[in-house]
Amino acid sequence: MITRKTTRQIHVGSVAIGGGAPIAVQSMTNTLTDDVEATVRQIHELERAGCEIIRVAVPDMAAAHALTAIREQIAIPLIADIHFDARLAVASMEHGAQGIRINPGNLGGPEKLARVVAAAKLHQVPIRVGVNSGSIEKGLLTQYGYPTPERPDALIESALGNVRLLEAHGFFDIKISIKSSDTLTTIAGYRQLARTTEYPLHLGVTEAGGLIAGTVKSSVALGILLAEGIGDTFRISLTRDPVEEIRVGFELLRSLRIRERGPELISCPTCGRTRIDLFSLAEKVERHLQTMQSSLKVAVMGCVVNGPGEAREADIGIAGGHGVGIIFKKGEIYKKVAEAELLPVFLEELDKLEAERKAGT
């Protein structure tokens, strides 16, 4: 049983962060933000996958002004990612951003920071103080050295120093992130930060890599921290379609029995008995499951000989053969289907089962 660290609670739009609220799964768009149509389309895809908070880059005024139209067309809270320019932070809040991510120390001085905080108070927008290993102040690097697993102090001090800048303006609607591309530095840093502050923490490994490397590095770092009760929201950063970030995020939470969303997929790794393209079949089933809400256990198995027995606990599953496959429920054969029709028939059965669960039958 995981005991979570108690943190302050803030709200990003309608989503509570910290204070015992469910751990929220976030992502970030990779479209040009001022391309409203493309950005909204991608956010809708992320919403269907389960994304609960979305962040967009705001590199210029065109992007800041686009936030109004974007927010009008989406259902989840919208965060603006700001670097260096206080004007963009203020404009983003004026155009509907429900949260901003900044590094307060690089906004151009006290007067510009004061304008950002005043706008955040006016619009009731929380601020994420986001510090990466590559953005630490030179003075802290001189004092503490570059962050390492043995000494992540520069990350901690940079974050807390920037938090104090906000607190000096009477602003406390804050969450903090301290990201490194190194897994062990990330773990050590967040452990130390969690002992130091009561603000909610946003977890992440920055520049984690592609699908495989990024998933492994993020899952190791975030899995350890979440298992220790550290973290209130997170993003799995992948050089990939951001929908994959959400898929990995919810599977991580499921594996720790923290949260479950939609069906769980179990599938065999294949062997010499496999006579169908199981990789493609499993991927297509998994993508369909992302659109479902019921907590079903779904199996995709490679052979009709062992499939139903090995996946007896599954609510429903398929097992491939040569030219024919079977659909089974709770280990018992339900129907045989020609291989060419196996996927569409199975997806139809999944949707029927989903409808039955929703209806309570």
Segment 234-264, tens digit of pLDDT? 999 999 999 999 989 998 999 999 988 888 8
**How many whole angstroms separate alpha carbon 321 and alpha carbon 273?**
9
- Mean per-residue pLDDT for 276-289? 84
pTM, to two decimals:
0.89
Strand partners, 265: 298
Q: From edge to edge, which strands make up the β-sheet containing 332-338?
A: 264-267, 297-301, 316-320, 324-329, 332-338
**How many whole angstroms separate alpha carbon 263 and alpha carbon 346?**
14
Q: How confident is the model at residue 303 (pLDDT cuts 50, 70, 90)?
A: confident
Give the pLDDT confidence score for residue 287 in this predicted structure. 84
61-75, 264-278, 317-331, range with greatest mean pLDDT:
61-75
Segment 83-131, tens digit of pLDDT? 889 999 999 999 999 999 988 777 878 889 999 999 999 999 999 998 8
**How many whole angstroms separate alpha carbon 102 and alpha carbon 13?**
18
Task: Report how far Cα 351 is from the mean position of its chain's Cα atoms.
Answer: 26
- Comparing CA positions, the residue from 101, 99, 94 lying closest to residue 125 is 99
For the cut 70, the answer to whether the pLDDT of residue 325 exceeds it is yes
Specify the 3-state DSSP secondary structure of 33. Answer: coil
User: Which range has the worst mean pLDDT, 35-49, 194-208, 323-337?
Assistant: 323-337
- Mean per-residue pLDDT for 220-245? 95
CA dist 269 → 274, 302, 318, 350 (Å): 10, 8, 14, 22
Two tokens, residue 88? 């963009």
For the cut 80, the answer to whether the pLDDT of residue 77 exceeds it is yes
